[in-house]
Amino acid sequence: MNIIFFGPPGAGKGTQAKIIEDKYGLKQLSTGDMLRAEVSEGTELGLQAKEIMDRGELVSDEIVIGMIAARVDSPECSKGVIFDGFPRTEAQAAALDAMLVERGQKIDMVLELLVDDEALVARIEKRALEEGRSDDNIEALKNRLAQYRSYSAEVLPYYRAQGDVPAVDGMKPIDEVTAQIESIFASQEAA
């Protein structure tokens, strides 16, 4: 089963992905986490990406598609993947579809996590104190939210053209959000 968690920065995609990963034996692939790992390892790619990430802009399709392509065949991904923070452009979505088709697979579900902007800002301010991410500051965040509005208007219609994109109320407590996600899984399995 291959799933996409789609939603703005701070929506809780990573939190939910980790819970679902453990329960269903899926593998979370977060392009944001992969990029931060490249930055902290000081790789060439990390050096290229850091400034762009710190501004809250999108790194190139080529880079993120390459990172995903390098991982989908790993044994950890054999039961399926939770894509978190990817795809963020139509080109990324199309590349992902092509990658999966080559492997006789597809995206089985796209979930949209909905959270108010005000709550997002509060969550990211809290995370800034806890984790110290260099893009968790008000300027970069404003830009990330603006980017989100723009790329969601590109990516959501792409998936809606393929089928339903159920929405999850991400304002609820963590366990209730998980319960909503699991009930969507169950209803899709029954369909």
* Residue 170 within binding range of ligand ADP, rule CB under 6 A: no
* Residue 28 within binding range of ligand ADP, rule CB under 6 A: no
As measured in angstroms, the least distance from the Cβ of 187 to ligand ADP is 27
Which residues, 31 to 90, sit near ligand ADP by CB under 6 A?
31-32, 35, 52-53, 56-59, 64, 85-88
* Residue 12 within binding range of ligand ADP, rule CB under 6 A: no
Residues contacting residue 160 through CB under 8 Å, at least 6 positions apart: none
* Residue 107 within binding range of ligand ADP, rule CB under 6 A: no
Q: Catalytic amino acids?
A: 13, 88, 127, 133, 144
**Terminal alpha carbon distance of the chain:** 15
The residue with its CB nearest to ligand ADP is 32
Per-residue binding letters, 117-156, with ligand ADP (x by CB under 6 A): ------------------x--------x------------
Choose between 62 and 164: whose C-beta lies nearer to ligand ADP: 62
Site residues (CB under 6 A) for ligand ADP?
Answer: 9-10, 31-32, 35, 52-53, 56-59, 64, 85-88, 92, 135, 144
